A and B are shown apart, each in its own frame.
Chain A
Amino acid sequence: MPRPMTMTEKILAAHAGLEEVEPGQLINCRLDLVLANDVTAPIAIKEFRKVGLASVWDPTKVALVPDHYTPNKDIKSAEQAKMVREFAREQKITHYYEIGCMGVEHALLPEQGVVGPGDVIIGADSHTCTYGALGAFATGVGSTDAAAGMATGEAWFKVPSSIKFVVDGELGPWVCGKDIILHIIGMIGVDGALYQSMEFTGSTIDALGMDDRMTICNMAIEAGGKSGIIAVDDTTRAYVTGRAERPWTEYHSDPDAEYARVIEIDAATIPPTVAFPHLPSNTRPVAQARDITVDQVVIGSCTNGRIEDMRIAASVLKGRKVHENVRLIIIPATQQVYRDCMHEGLTDIFLDAGAAVSTPTCGPCLGGHMGILAAGERALATTNRNFVGRMGDPTSEVYLASPAVAAATAVLGHIALPEDLSPATDSDGAAS
């Protein structure tokens, strides 16, 4: 009998061809997918060439997504994107997404069914851990690891121990996945899960939809996590059925699996939360942040740019105007989300409110383009990081929060909750 294992250990054992593994063990795993973007693929491609192989190990298991500086911000970034494009064509990469078909990688790949339960995925982007929401082991690596993966279809790992977060009960008004994960990062710090897997469970998690689950796993890296993961259930199955390209395998943690820590959280105690500069762990209740005025609000990114995020933002913005001193930039994370926004009338709500609706891109999240902050400017964003200079000038500031808080903040000009807003006016000017 193999030892009791967490779902993470089981996935890794299966891909290492082992009956069991234990935390700290160094193993070599077969990969289901290797991912890189327009910033990290250029180095990966150069490193791949050095290996001396003519072809990647499997063109159906490499994903190249130009999403950071695309549509290109300048000649140099255009050259990087071109290098990726040419490599993708040369190698006949199945999952290369050109401008107009691309999206932010970690929203795009789940949506397109490229990643699924039980997979082992490495991505040359730290937020690759997002796919843990589907019950996969997915972790961020650098370009060289991605190159080695493209060449061999394998990667080495040190098996992570796991922290189990048990979140039970009902969330308060406007509290969503973003607030849960910010709350947790505030509790344990930016290296609180260093080299570890964060496993999320409990009745609150069970009640969440896939978008919220992806938001939570996406930010495991902000606590230093190697991966974030949520067990497969009916919600997961409904999401992947008809979408997944390949058959999938479900793994579940044994009841007596060993955890480094078990942290129990009462959902009712999680407030709408904002992370102050300059770390995602610098969290406070939104109620304590109302005196902070902002210059810009960004709703989007691989963390909160999916359709549910757009719906929440629209529900707050409907019948309201963006504050005259605020720039609101809304970035649907994929073309499909963009299209859904149009079909559902969300885009009209955004435009009527005075928002700029942008094409899918990471753009301002990493301080790349399409929404950069000037010296001393302040933004509230639904993104994932608020390091020094993250969104622009080193003296600018980023506050992290949910789409609901972001929308309310855009209207009032200071950090706010939807409940702070006056009643919206409908199209004929009457209060609703």
Chain B
Amino acid sequence: MKFTGTAHKYGRDVDTDVIIPARYLNTSDPAELAKHCMEDLDAGFVGKVVAGDILVADENFGCGSSREHAPIAIKAAGVSVVIAKSFARIFYRNAINTGLPIMEAPDAVDGIRDGDVVSVDADSGTITNETTGAVFTAQPFPPFIKDIIEGGGLIEAVKKRVSL
């Protein structure tokens, strides 16, 4: 999985409420959720993000809720991958389950500024800041989890299991 896009950078403890406010959770339509992605943190986010862009953040990204609406909103807004110093556990799982690539890469976060153009090869764990030329390495997923992502998410994996 390879991606190139502009980085949108945020701080630590970006929670699921600011990613998609609860007032919009009377629907699970990805297109609707995308319209309000990051709204309570950066009202201008949806106006500037384009398909393929990359979200970059400090520690504990996605803290808070179980609601998959958060990774769904991010993915539907066009974000190709999220790079953070660490992820909240439930968001980590939800991102994998819904096919949103995420990478834990503290050095890369420190080496990327808002607006930099960044390339990511998720399979090898290589993150390249095309604007500065710096290259960073993230831990690739364990095989078990990589299988889920490459298979198209948890439901596809379950389909294979129950059809055996």
Contact = CB atoms under 8 A, between A and B. Distances in A.
Interface of A: 26, 39-40, 42-43, 46-47, 50-53, 68-69, 73-74, 76-77, 80, 123-126, 128, 140-145, 147-148, 151-152, 156, 190-191, 194-195, 221, 224, 226, 279, 366-368, 385, 387-390, 394
Contact of B67 (A39, A151, A195): A39
B80 to A, nearest CB: 20
Contacts of B23: 367-368
A389 B94 CA distance: 22
A69 B65 CA distance: 16
B150 to A, nearest CB: 16
A372 B28 CA distance: 21
Interface residues of B, number: 43
Contact of A141 (B25, B66, B157): B66
Contact of A50 (B89, B90, B159): B159
A194 B154 contact: no
B97 A52 contact: no
Contact of A195 (B15, B89, B144): B89
A140 B66 contact: yes
Interface string B52-89: 00000001100111111101100000000000001011
Contacts of A123: 66
A126 B64 CA distance: 7
Contact of A148 (B26, B94, B158): B158
B142 interface: yes
B22 A143 contact: no
Contacts of A77: 26
Contacts of A140: 65-66, 90
B97 A144 contact: yes
B87 to A, nearest CB: 9
A390 B60 CA distance: 18
A366 B22 contact: yes
Contacts of A53: 162
A74 B25 CA distance: 11
B18 interface: yes
B162 A52 contact: yes
B2 to A, nearest CB: 25
A40 to B, nearest CB: 6
Interface of B: 13, 15, 17-18, 21-23, 25-28, 40-41, 59-60, 63-69, 71-72, 86, 88-90, 93-94, 97-98, 142, 144, 153-155, 157-159, 161-163
Contacts of A221: 90
A39 B25 contact: yes
A144 B155 contact: yes
A144 B89 contact: no
Contact of B17 (A42, A47, A194, A388): A388
A162 to B, nearest CB: 14
A148 B154 CA distance: 7
B149 to A, nearest CB: 13
Given A52-B163, A53-B162, A368 B25 contact: yes
B153 A144 contact: yes
Contact of A128 (B63, B66, B162): B66
A52 B26 contact: no
Contacts of B60: 190-191, 194, 224
Contact of B21 (A190, A191, A389): A389
Contacts of A69: 25-26
A142 B162 contact: no
A2 to B, nearest CB: 23
Contacts of A26: 142, 144
B97 A142 contact: yes
B155 A50 contact: yes
A43 B28 contact: yes
A140 B65 CA distance: 8
Nearest to B29: A76
A96 B40 CA distance: 34
A80 B24 CA distance: 13
Contacts of B64: 126, 385, 387
Give the 8 A-B residue pairs with the shortest CB-CB distance, closest first.
Answer: A76-B26, A142-B94, A144-B97, A142-B68, A77-B26, A191-B60, A387-B17, A140-B66
